[in-house]
Structure 1
Amino acid sequence: MEVILKEDVNKLGHRGDVVKVADGYGRNYLLPEKLAIEATLANKAVIEQMKASAVRKSAKEKTGAEQLATQLSEVELVFERKVGENEHLFGSVTSGDIAQQLEAKGFTIDRRKISLEEPLKTIGEYHVPVKLHREVTSHVKVTVKGDQPEAEAVTTTA
């Protein structure tokens, strides 16, 4: 099935591209979510207009993303988690946790835009990339702490 993308889709293409996808993926995901339209002759005639507006929209989004990137670079998030041996966390800090705390600070960012290779499972300081636009990536400082101070080893003298 050939479709025309109305929005950028990760690992598929950018707005205005004509791509060939599996029938089920197109019918069950791209079309209902309004991420694409079928590539018919009538719709192909509209592609040029879409591409022109996509360039304008992309430029506007990029400007907004750059402003947001400068604000996000100053944000520092702190997470407290239970800690086991070797400063290994019982839970982990995921992209969903980061998105939730960013939202609490007034930034609405989809968790899928937070590029964590895998959840953070150890105590430390991390710089987590946030892809705001295909050309704009910001970094958020994330600090993971233990929820209790390290317990001193109790020694008993006989």
Structure 2
Amino acid sequence: MANAEIILTASIPNLGAEADIVKVRRGYARNFLIPQGKALEVTPTALRKINHLRAIRAEREAREVTAAEELASKIGKLNLSFTLETGETGKAFGSVTSKDIHDRLVKELGIDLPKHAVDLDRSIKESGDHEVPVKLHPDVTGKLRISIVTPKVETEDAEGAEEGAKARKRTAKS
């Protein structure tokens, strides 16, 4: 149950970011991380290299945050509209899911956005205006406004429809 200290050369979910020094199980380091090029053993040479990796990571993260903030401002100005069919009682058929929102957002902005970026707790089934968070970066979340509209169903006067049906039956019998 010995642990090894390693320097990550790539970000690994639930473990650490690039240039972090972490302790992992020796077998995980020896058999997976180091052969895959995702980590280095902690040595004096590697410790000097870590400063270079940290500088590169800081520059890259600054660019990513700036790009994410610009995209968040574009998303904040956008208002997407979705149509849901409703029955006679006004209950919606179907819902608007995070996948629907993601697909429409990618189509509207022409960007490559991860599928999990649209952070919708549950599908939207109610008509009206909604605000949906879009996670663009761990530090940047944009707010997308969407409108759910239901088409106006043209309903005839129920009594008028019944009378029209009765009149058609009478003329058919004669």
How much has 1:86 moved relative to structure 2?
Answer: 5.8
SS in 2 for 1:131: strand
Mapped to 1, the partners of 2:146 and 2:18 lie a distance apart of 32
Aligned counterpart, 1:93 = 96
Aligned residues: 149
SS in 1 for 2:38: strand
Q: Judging changes above 3 Å, is the alpha-carbon distance between structure 1 residues 102 and 85 closer, same or farther for their aligned structure 2 residues? A: same
Structure 1 unaligned regions, length at least 5: none
Answer 1 or 2: which has greater helix percent: 2
Instruction: Give the TM-score normalised by the residue count of structure 2.
Output: 0.66
Residues 98 and 111 of structure 1 are in contact (CA less than 8 Å); yes or no, is this contact kept in structure 2? no
Mapped to 2, the partners of 1:131 and 1:106 lie a distance apart of 15
Mapped to 1, the partners of 2:15 and 2:145 lie a distance apart of 30
Structure 2 unaligned regions, length at least 5: 164-174
Q: Judging changes above 3 Å, is the alpha-carbon distance between structure 1 residues 8 and 41 closer, same or farther for their aligned structure 2 residues? A: closer
Mapped to 2, the partners of 1:54 and 1:101 lie a distance apart of 32
* Alignment RMSD: 3.5
- From 73, 78, 81, the equivalent of 2:81 is 78
- 1:37 and 2:48 are equivalent in the alignment: no
Q: Judging changes above 3 Å, is the alpha-carbon distance between structure 1 residues 40 and 136 closer, same or farther for their aligned structure 2 residues? A: same
Instruction: Give the TM-score normalised by the residue count of structure 1.
Output: 0.71
Residues 13 and 19 of structure 1 are in contact (CA less than 8 Å); yes or no, is this contact kept in structure 2? no
Mapped to 2, the partners of 1:104 and 1:73 lie a distance apart of 16
Identity of aligned residues (%): 26
How much has 1:65 moved relative to structure 2?
Answer: 1.0
SS in 2 for 1:92: coil
Residue 67 of structure 1 aligns to which amino acid in structure 2? E
- 1:114 and 2:115 are equivalent in the alignment: no
Is the radius of gyration larger for structure 1 or structure 2?
2
Q: Judging changes above 3 Å, is the alpha-carbon distance between structure 1 residues 47 and 93 closer, same or farther for their aligned structure 2 residues? A: farther
Superposed structure 1 runs of 4+ greater than 6 Å apart: none
- From 141, 144, 152, the equivalent of 2:145 is 141
User: What whole-Å deviation, never above 9, does each CA across 1:57-85 have from its counterpart, x for those lacking one?
Assistant: 00011111111111111111111122246
Aligned counterpart, 2:129 = 125
User: What whole-Å deviation, never above 9, does each CA across 1:84-104 have from its counterpart, x for those lacking one?
Assistant: 466443222112111111122
Mapped to 1, the partners of 2:85 and 2:67 lie a distance apart of 37
Residue 82 of structure 1 aligns to which amino acid in structure 2? E
